[in-house]
Structure 1
Amino acid sequence: MRKFVAIAALACTALLAAGCQPETACPAIAQAQVVALTVARDYAASVRAVQLKACQAGRCTEAELELFPGTTTVDQGCEPGPYGGDRPCSATSSPDGTLTGMLMFEPLGDSPMEVTSSGTDANGLPLPVRTLTFTPRVAYPFGGQCGRFITAGVVLDAGGLRQAP
């Protein structure tokens, strides 16, 4: 009987210890599966329209992108709290002279992809056709237990296409 009580107590302790492990809450954020394009500030005035084609693992998607003014985040700081802690902080966005657009690409994978840009300049003349092969970036912004985010971004400037930082 003593062995049974000892085993039962040990089992209950193990169950309680396992039940008290901290769980990590993962944010319920869905990732947009897109190839993001940024037209560099020094080239943006030269661009009227951009056609983007992306291919990965035998699948291709192509579209003329709707271009929007790009922005940068400006930190407005935090007010000190009454007892040394910070109060809510704030930031705002400010135009940065770039243009941005997105090409929907589902499902976006982590294998190499080829992106080709074409379009028209401010005078309606064809832009040079530019092609870049790169591997999308993989990150775990909320920890390994919360899944990975895959991002594919390119920058277009007078010199061509390059992978976004």
Structure 2
Amino acid sequence: MARRSDASAGTPATSALTRAGIEFRAHAYEHDPRAAAYGLEAAEKLGIDAALVFKTLLAAVDGSLAVAIVPVAMQLDLKAFATAVGGKRAEMADPSLAERKTGYVLGGISPIGQKTPLPTVLDESAILCETVFVSGGRRGLDLELAPDDLLAVTSGRYAPIARGR
């Protein structure tokens, strides 16, 4: 996979990957503003298996924010996520707080290049993937990279944090 620093795809996420020397591929698509499920839209528009597309979610664990990255076709298991970050209770973060802390808009929140570095956990299902797709920092842009590289650039770790719908 070639590193790509396409100027049209320039976001804090792509800049962070380039600075870190991590190989990635940027995939742009025409975002439909009526789409409610951004990750599933990305899978459909890019013609890829939804199991490879991961969504970035922010949750408050015992009052502190943390980042969860789970497959778009699954849900975040809040109890498992709290345990994974060493807490007792987790709840989804307020959307406006998530935007302020990350510097990204909903539907375009990337786990990479956030304004405020936060503890990050990637669902262990990603271990089975050669590459995964995550938001590139804006709606209509996904980044493809190796899951271990995603963890390296976010200082994250694997844990079983997803559950079926």
Provide TM-score, normalisation by structure 1: 0.26
More strand by share: 1
Q: TM-score, normalised by structure 2?
A: 0.26
Structure number with larger C-alpha Rg: 1
Q: Which has the higher helix share?
A: 2
